[in-house]
Amino acid sequence: MADTQAEVLILTQDFDPTVDPVVRSLTAKGARVARVDTSYFPRDLSFTTSDFGGEREVMRYRDREVDLSRLSGVWYRRPTAFEFGDEMGEAEQEFARYEGLHGVGGILRGTDCLWMNRPDADSVAELKPYQLKLAKRLGMRVPRTLLTNDPDEVVRLAEQGHRLVYKSLTGGVIHYPGAYPSGLLTTVLGEEIHDNAPRVRHTICQFQEYIEKAYEVRLTVIGNTYFSVTVDSQGDAATQVDWRAETQQMKYGDYRPIPEEVVKRTQSLLDELGIVYAAVDFIVTPEGEYVFLEANPSGQFMWMQNDLDLPMSDCVADLLMQGGPFRRGEVEQVGY
């Protein structure tokens, strides 16, 4: 960019510890950082674009004004919904919300900078069945998968002797009133499927073949930089099916770079999805074959940075300061 000082916009909620180290890195590298939540709109956050008397594209919040035309990068992290005052009725709030989504969304989409990731791309990339179909078409091995809300389909498959797991299509978090959010871990199906099969009718459910593992890989892709982390999930009975079951002490294996063919196919997948950042999960079989599970366009990474001293925050900062639009190119793999 012609400007000597990069300007970066981070859209996220007030409490987001993952963002803090990136802000520090950006500041240390000389960037100007605007960190806001979309919940500030419309009372404490305003957007203005105009071509009366010259072009203007500005965002104002508190005592800060940001020239949107000078942005080098936007990190669409985890912003929350617009908040309207009680002075507006429910019908008026609904109208204002849709107007705001179209207006603010259109203004931000019009910025000519690097996005990590654009929200419209995220919304498509989060569709796990679509990911699996793309990955399969690109030559990756994916688990054989049944998606259905027909109980008979599940019972029929189980009775054929297939060892199956149930895995939620989203984060699997359920918010019960007055309780902490609880998550649904990947679960191996047993005889209980016959008693519980009618519950399948309530929504689309994902059932996949169980694949034997040697270990698992969490691959964090930040632009063209790959951070591959080996997860020794098979060393503990609690994590053999789902390594997320261990929340206190993650067990890591030695660093293993991703094979070149898997890198190429992952690049192609993310290119098709149109995303710059992703947390990609693989199973590695005892025979050494990589099996694609999913790509999370907003997956967490700070726990790996802290545990393994990986320069992920610096990498995010460098990418956001680089400017856009993003170009997929040669991959650099970073070990530990």
Would 123 be classed as within a structural domain? no
Would 134 be classed as within a structural domain? no
Would 280 be classed as within a structural domain? yes
202, 233: one domain: no
Domain range holding 155? 144-209
91, 57: one domain: yes
Segment 104-119 shows an average pLDDT of 95
pLDDT in tens, 117-134: 999 999 999 999 999 999
pLDDT in tens, 248-263: 788 999 999 999 999 9
Last residue of a domain, one of 188, 209, 230: 209
Domain count, the chain: 3
236, 199: one domain: no
216, 205: one domain: no
Distance between CA 194 and CA 220 in Å, rounded? 38
Strand 71-78 vs strand 114-116: parallel, antiparallel, or unpaired? parallel
322, 221: one domain: yes
Phi, psi of 188 (to 5 degrees): -80, 130
220, 327: one domain: yes
Percent of the chain's residues with pLDDT above 90: 82
Distance between CA 265 and CA 268 in Å, rounded? 5
CATH of the domain at 317: 3.30.470.20
Report residue 285 as tokens: 């079989």
13, 87: one domain: yes
28, 87: one domain: yes
28 vs 324, which has greater pLDDT? 28
pLDDT in tens, 201-213: 999 999 999 999 9
275, 184: one domain: no
CATH of the domain at 148: 3.30.1490
Last residue of a domain, one of 187, 209, 231: 209
Would 24 be classed as within a structural domain? yes
The three state secondary structure string of the chain is CCCCCCEEEEEECCCCCCHHHHHHHHHHCCCEEEEECHHHCECCEEEEEECCCCCEEEEEECCEEEEHHHEEEEEEEECCCCECCCCCCHHHHHHHHHHHHHHHHHHHHCCCCEEECCHHHHHHHCCHHHHHHHHHHCCCECCCEEEECCHHHHHHHHHCCCCEEECCCCCCEECCCCCCCEECCCEECCCCHHHHHHHHHHCCEEEEECCCCCEEEEEEEECCEEEEEEECHHHCHHHCCCHHHCCCCCCECCCCCCCHHHHHHHHHHHHHHCCCEEEEEEEECCCCCEEEEEEECCCCCHHHHHHHCCCHHHHHHHHHHHCCCCCCCCCEEECC
pLDDT in tens, 87-96: 899 999 999 9
Segment 136-147 shows an average pLDDT of 98
Last residue of a domain, one of 181, 209, 237: 209
Specify the residue for token string 């199956």.
164
Would 125 be classed as within a structural domain? no
CATH of the domain at 89: 3.40.50
Has residue 1 got a pLDDT over 60? no
Using alpha carbons, select from 215, 210, 243 the residue that is nearest to residue 143: 210
